[in-house]
Copies of this chain bind each other. A is one copy, B any other.
Amino acid sequence: MSYDLIIQNGTIATASDTYRADIGVKGGKIIAIAEHLEGAEEVIDASGKFVLPGGVEAHCHINEPPIGKVESADTFETGSRSAACGGNTTFIPFANQARGQSLLEAIEDYRKLAEGNSYIDYGFHLIVSDATPDVISRELPQAIQDGFTSFKVFMCYSDVMIDDRQILDVLGTARQEGALVMIHAENDHCISWLGSKLEELGQTEPKYYAKAHGHVVEREATHRAISLSEIVDTPILIVHVSSAEAMEQVRWAQSKGLNIHAETCPQYLYLKEEDFDRPGWEGSKFICSPPPREESNQGKLWQAIKNGVFDVVHSDHCPYSYEGDAGKQYHAHEGGHPHFKCIAPGVPGIEVRLPLMFNEMVSNGRLDINRFVALTSTNAAKLYGIYPQKGTIAIGSDADFALWDAEREVEIKHANLHDGCDYSPYEGTVVKGWPVRTILRGRTIWNDGEITGAPGEGGFLKRKLHMDPAWNAPSELVHRYV
């Protein structure tokens, strides 16, 4: 037998190409792609299906520390299972440094949580919440060498945020080592000031969360993040851009020649401000940070996706259950009223990211299937240093695939999903196109309704540095500072 596995008759799509061919897999790697292949232990007939690279989900929160009583609804087991059922073969959650904690220790903690529990391959971004000189000069470089080549900083949330000078320090190390910094861009002072004003006015319903996290709050921090990146002359990625105003800052910066990368999320393309108006406390199901915006904002983000402003679309899966003692509306625990300040921000979505995006990008024709692959798999693999092992279908790459039935229409119901949460903000949304089979390094882990993989089959990915020669190329258009 030449191959462990042959996938026959499918239509392969990569970030640039679409063609019909058979794929031959051996030892978990793609070793042949040809008009016709024979001789395998296992043959999968992909007739009428798209064969795509497995999705890379590079923004998700798994097993993060509780917010008061509110606990993460997903462990590595449930989170990776849900991801697998949604067509992903790789995910990159965060290893979250607690303030006062060693960064390397935080890494160790999260590795332990993941080890033996994941259905799919995984790496970690670091969250740097304590940018001590030792972290900046010793721990971060060490972590990068160990394969943690991207890290996130927060411009808001008092328990994790660092200030501009500390961000510059982090960027300085990133530049020196070639790592990538992800930035959560919202102005903490503004959020808190607006929150107080709204509270004084008695405006405490969930929808005021969005008011306290208004467009300007995000736009300002985005401009600031861009400026910090410009000063240090090192690329950044602005995560979860939600506001068209923030997006315009990114496009402006890109036009100037700055290496600003950006991500948006399904919640900003499907959910909207009006969702907060659901009766009772149900609006809190849609609260994440930054929040979904008014409907007209969506079209502008779609346009920006088309224009190349965004490199990636990830779920920012941040699972808090709605019901129960550990539910996200934590003020309710003690019998209080709904209050926007007492909602753990975050929405689940790791399993439906790909179908939601396939539906609009491919089925509704906003882009094409190659752009879909680029935005949901290939670009992330390149940005986060796991390409070409992950993110494409090419000789030598891992045999990670998602088989898609482009014609299948599915109504999203949380009852059918596989995460640890108790609701989906997309409940009732009907999408066309569904990942019917997920294959990790040649092994089928999800097969049309049946979970065939197992926890622990997913392995740790020691990531390389990002790759983009343009990051080092001179731009004649910007001032250089350092």
Which of A's residues lie within 8 Å of B, judged by CB? 12, 14-21, 24, 31-35, 163-165, 168-169, 172, 187, 189-190, 192-194, 197, 211, 214-217, 219-220, 223-224, 227-228, 230-231, 251, 254-255, 257, 296, 298-300, 302-303, 306-308, 362, 364-368, 370, 374, 378, 388, 392, 394-397, 467-470, 472-473, 475-477, 479, 481-482
Contacts and interface: CB of A to CB of B under 8 A. Distances in A.
A32 B31 contact: no
Contact of A366 (B374, B467, B473): B473
B169 A193 contact: yes
A189 B216 contact: no
A258 to B, nearest CB: 10
A368 B216 contact: no
Contacts of A307: 254-255, 308
A165 B193 CA distance: 6
A397 B19 contact: yes
A303 B395 contact: no
A481 B33 contact: no
A231 B194 contact: yes
Nearest to A193: B168
A473 B367 contact: yes
Contact of A395 (B16, B21, B215, B366): B21
Contacts of A396: 19-21, 35
Nearest to A308: B308
Contact of A299 (B189, B300, B467, B476): B476
Contacts of A394: 17, 19, 21
A164 B217 CA distance: 11
Given A190-B231, A367-B473, 15 more contacts: A12-B395, A32-B32, A32-B35, A33-B34, A33-B395, A163-B189, A168-B189, A190-B228, A216-B227, A220-B224, A296-B476, A308-B308, A362-B469, A367-B469, A367-B470
Nearest to A364: B473
A201 to B, nearest CB: 9
Max chain B CB contacts within 10 Å: which of A187, A214, A220, A306?
A220
B469 A366 contact: yes
A231 B468 CA distance: 38
A366 B216 contact: no
A16 B374 contact: yes
A365 B16 CA distance: 21
B35 A395 contact: yes
Contacts of A362: 469
A366 B472 CA distance: 8
B164 A190 contact: yes
B300 A227 contact: no
Nearest to A219: B227
Contacts of A378: 16
Max chain B CB contacts within 10 Å: which of A165, A192, A227?
A227
Contacts of A197: 172, 482
Contacts of A251: 255
A302 to B, nearest CB: 8
A113 to B, nearest CB: 33
B19 A470 contact: no
Contacts of A194: 231, 481-482
Contact of A189 (B12, B165, B303): B165
Contacts of A298: 476
